[in-house]
Amino acid sequence: MKEKHIQITGMFLTTLYAVFVVWLYSVEPKSLDEVPTKAQTTIENVTTKTQVAIGTYEVDRAKFNEGLTAFRQDNFIVARDNFEKADTEKRDPKTQFYIAYSFYRQGFGKVSNDDALFKLGLEQMSRVSALDKNFKSDDANLQIKTPVELKNEFEEGLKVTASDFNPLKIFRERK
């Protein structure tokens, strides 16, 4: 074998091993059994990031539909989980809007709202606005169609005003 070939082989092996060591320290597997699982996750992440970089990223339709079904059945925890799995890179405004909407519907209360969920929803709204300022939902089942309206619902829900003590409030409907 020529010396040049040995040097090239050495460089290749060194790079490969160095990448492996850096990868191990970044994913921190707890045991040897965990290494294949971590490797699979890394490959999936790299694939998604590459798709984003080259502009071929798409939401997982199957997961999105599962999320939508759960959302319509008021099973918001499962819905959010599926929406997050469908849009792992958080790049689809429609999916992110549904996640925010799920916080609203889950946190809505006739007597009082769940402030923790409303705060999470408000944070989520900023993500939707950042992705698409002019976003408008095409879902006929949703009464709130735009991020601005939903944001207003969250902000009003978090405020404590005199109207909160109005007993007729219990007759208001969830949007």
Measured distance CA(35)–CA(167) in Å, rounded: 58
Other CB atoms within 10 A of residue 46 CB = 10
Q: Could you give phi then psi for residue 59, rounded to 5 degrees? A: -75, 145
First-residue to last-residue Cα distance in the chain = 74
Give the nearer residue to another protein in terms of CB position, either 28 or 138: 28
For residue 86, the minimal CB distance to another protein (Å) is 31
Give the nearer residue to another protein in terms of CB position, either 33 or 173: 33
Q: What are the distances in angstroms from CA 47 to CA 53, 55, 56?
A: 10, 12, 11
* Stretch binding another protein (CB under 8 A), from 4-12, 54-62, 63-71, 167-175: 4-12
* Stretch binding another protein (CB under 8 A), from 28-36, 54-62, 89-97, 121-129: 28-36
The answer to the question of residue 33 lying near another protein (CB under 8 A) is no
Give the nearer residue to another protein in terms of CB position, either 4 or 159: 4
Other CB atoms within 10 A of residue 94 CB = 17
> If phi over 0 gives left and psi between -120 and 50 gives alpha, with beta otherwise, what is residue 6?
alpha
Give the nearer residue to another protein in terms of CB position, either 19 or 77: 19
For residue 36, the minimal CB distance to another protein (Å) is 14
- Give the interface with another protein as residue ranges (CB under 8 A): 1, 3-4, 6-11, 13-15, 17-18, 21, 24-25, 28-31
